């Protein structure tokens, strides 16, 4: 079946004369096929498809947009037997949001797939929590996917983030002071606020946005277009439509590729850090950090240990400043508690460091 995916990819021809004559809610967009570095196959850029089990069940996040629709079709064409389509209506775009959900449901039905449609009022939640729209929407999606994990007894979730998304993530993380060139990981596990464990898989991180759309066009697949993605309001939209193109123009290079390479290098370094952390013996039998053992490490390793400890306990929004302040607890002349994102506290007492959750 992998060869079939490759053939489908390579069948792209000249569709300059295509017209989008479908109704808007089901219309695929007419634009010329733009090959980049030749007709590359999806197998080379997305090796996950060759390695993953086709018999296992997979939850698939499908918004109805081009990226997630391409992911679903590629899974079907590659012979994955049990994808479960999961769609959350965030309630932010009125009738357009409802039309997205309708499109996804019909897409799943057309292929005989199980489908879970959820709805949450993100605007109301945002007003109640005081959080940003991006953070509130992400929390809502995690809650929805956690419910899907429980209902279908399937901990594996596929998301359609691609190389352009990765570049935006790396750039934004750098701008807000995150630790290193942090990007999205191809595979990792998270624990939601409700305590549900999920395996997140992103098989398309090596594929460009235009390549996914070209594949859909070449194979006459339809998708939904969210007009708000083109509006220069949200931070990610401005990074996508303004910052990255400008950086490419200034440097004379492909800025997206530069940032994705940086993320790949950071991922390789993370494996080295993991090995180094395994050599440290800084935890007591209760899982707390032992101050005496921690002080014996070089400062860079102290920061790595603290960052890993916070991450393992579900503390998000880790930037360089927070890690430095938390590492400062090794100095007994400084205050013995640091406030953490989400309301928890990082405490020092009796020669130990631990996290106290409210």
What value does the mean pLDDT take over residues 279-289? 92
What value does the mean pLDDT take over residues 178-184? 80
- Strands 82-89 and 156-158, by their bridges, are unpaired
Q: What pLDDT is attached to residue 158?
A: 98
Percent of the chain whose predicted confidence (pLDDT) is above 90: 58
pLDDT band at 80 (very low <50, low <70, confident <90, very high): very high
Question: Tens of pLDDT along 21-78?
Answer: 333 333 333 333 333 332 346 668 899 998 999 999 999 999 999 999 999 999 998 9
Distance between CA atoms of 147 and 205, rounded to whole angstroms?
Answer: 25
Q: 3-class secondary structure for the chain? A: CHHHHHHHHHCCCCCCCCCCCCCHHHCCCCCCCCCCCCCCCHHHHCCHHHHCCCCCEEEEECCCCHHHHHHHHHHHHCCCCEEEEEEEECCCCCHHHHHHHHHHHHHHHHCCCCEEEEECCHHHHHHHHCCCHHHHHHHHHHHHHHHHHHHHCCCEEECCCCHHHHHHHHHHHHHCCECCCCCCCCEEEEECCCCCEEEEECCCCCCCHHHHHHHHHHCCCCCCCCHHHHCCCCHHHHHHHHHHHHHHHHHCCCHHHHHHHHHHHHHHHHHHHHHHHHHCCCECCCCCEEHHHHHCCCHHHHHHHHHHHHHHCCCCCCEHHHHHHHHHHHCCCCCCEEECCCCCEEEEECCEEEEECC
Q: What pLDDT is attached to residue 190?
A: 85
Least confident stretch, 132-141, 143-152, 199-208, 330-339: 132-141
- Strands 82-89 and 345-349, by their bridges, are unpaired
Distance between CA atoms of 129 and 353, rounded to whole angstroms?
Answer: 29
Q: What pLDDT is attached to residue 73?
A: 94
pLDDT band at 165 (very low <50, low <70, confident <90, very high): very high
Q: What pLDDT is attached to residue 100?
A: 95
Question: Tens of pLDDT along 207-228?
Answer: 999 999 989 988 899 999 887 7
Whether the per-residue pLDDT at 327 is higher than 70: the answer is yes
Cβ distance 345 to 338 under 8 Å?
yes
Cβ distance 63 to 258 under 8 Å?
no
Q: What pLDDT is attached to residue 32?
A: 35
Q: What pLDDT is attached to residue 22?
A: 37
Burial string for 32-42 (b: 16+ CB within 10 Å, else e) reads ebeeeeeebbb
CATH superfamily of 2-257: HUPs (3.40.50.620)
> Can you say whether the dihedral through the CA atoms of 102, 103, 104, 105 is positive or negative?
positive
pLDDT band at 232 (very low <50, low <70, confident <90, very high): low
Whether the per-residue pLDDT at 20 is higher than 80: the answer is no
Burial class (CB in 10 A: 0-12, 13-18, 19+), 141: buried
Least confident stretch, 18-32, 105-119, 192-206, 301-315: 18-32
Q: What pLDDT is attached to residue 293?
A: 94
Q: Cα separations (Å) of 245 from 34, 184, 268?
A: 17, 21, 27
Q: What pLDDT is attached to residue 28?
A: 33
pTM metric for this prediction? 0.76
Q: Where are the domains of the chain?
A: 2-257, 280-356
For residues 177 and 348, which has the higher predicted lDDT (pLDDT)?
Answer: 348
Q: What pLDDT is attached to residue 33?
A: 36
Distance between CA atoms of 244 and 248, rounded to whole angstroms?
Answer: 6
pLDDT band at 195 (very low <50, low <70, confident <90, very high): confident
Question: Tens of pLDDT along 242-278?
Answer: 999 999 999 999 999 999 999 999 888 888 888 888 8
Burial class (CB in 10 A: 0-12, 13-18, 19+), 108: buried
pLDDT band at 319 (very low <50, low <70, confident <90, very high): confident
Supply φ then ψ for residue 131, to 5 degrees. -80, 170
Whether the per-residue pLDDT at 346 is higher than 60: the answer is yes
Closest CA to 53 of 158, 197, 161, 145: 158
The fold of the 280-356 domain, in CATH, is: Chorismate Mutase Domain, subunit A (1.20.59)
Residues whose CB is less than 8 angstroms from the CB of residue 284 and which lie 6 or more positions away in sequence, other chains included = 290, 352
pLDDT band at 125 (very low <50, low <70, confident <90, very high): confident
Q: What pLDDT is attached to residue 43?
A: 62
Q: What pLDDT is attached to residue 23?
A: 34
What value does the mean pLDDT take over residues 141-159? 96
Closest CA to 155 of 114, 190, 197: 197
What value does the mean pLDDT take over residues 7-11? 36
């Amino acid at each position: 079946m992998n060869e079939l995916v490759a053939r489908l990819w390579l069948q792209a021809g000249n569709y300059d004369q295509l017209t989008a004559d479908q109704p808007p809610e089901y219309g695929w967009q007419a634009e010329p096929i733009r090959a980049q570095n030749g007709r590359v196959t999806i197998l080379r850029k997305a090796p996950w498809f060759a390695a993953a089990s086709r018999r296992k069940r997979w939850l698939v996040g499908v918004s109805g947009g081009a990226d997630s629709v391409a992911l679903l079709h590629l899974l079907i064409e590659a012979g994955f037997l049990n994808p479960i389509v999961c769609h959350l209506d965030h309630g932010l775009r009125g009738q357009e949001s409802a039309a997205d959900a309708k499109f996804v449901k019909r897409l799943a039905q057309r292929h005989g797939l199980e489908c879970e449609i959820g709805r949450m009022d993100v605007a109301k939640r945002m007003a109640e929590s005081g959080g940003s729209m991006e953070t509130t929407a992400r929390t809502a999606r995690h809650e929805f996917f956690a419910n899907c994990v429980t209902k279908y007894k399937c901990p594996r979730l596929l998301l359609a983030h691609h190389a352009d998304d990765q570049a935006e993530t790396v750039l934004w993380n750098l701008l807000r002071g995150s630790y290193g060139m942090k990007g999205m990981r191809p595979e990792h596990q998270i624990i939601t606020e409700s305590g549900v464990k999920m395996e997140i898989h992103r098989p398309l991180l090596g594929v460009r946005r235009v390549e996914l759309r070209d594949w859909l066009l070449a194979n006459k697949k339809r998708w939904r277009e969210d007009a708000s993605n083109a509006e220069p309001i949200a931070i990610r939209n401005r990074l996508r439509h303004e910052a990255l193109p400008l950086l490419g123009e200034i440097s004379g290079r492909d800025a997206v590729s530069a940032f994705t390479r940086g993320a790949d290098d950071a991922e390789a370094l993370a494996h080295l850090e993991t090995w180094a952390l395994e050599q440290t013996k800084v935890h007591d039998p209760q899982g707390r950090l032992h101050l005496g053992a921690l002080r014996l490490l070089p400062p860079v390793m102290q920061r790595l240990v603290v960052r890993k400890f916070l991450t393992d306990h579900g503390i998000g929004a880790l930037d360089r400043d927070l890690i430095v302040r938390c590492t400062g607890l090794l100095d007994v002349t400084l205050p013995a508690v640091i406030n953490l994102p989400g309301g928890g506290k990082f405490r020092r007492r009796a020669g130990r460091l631990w996290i106290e959750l409210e």
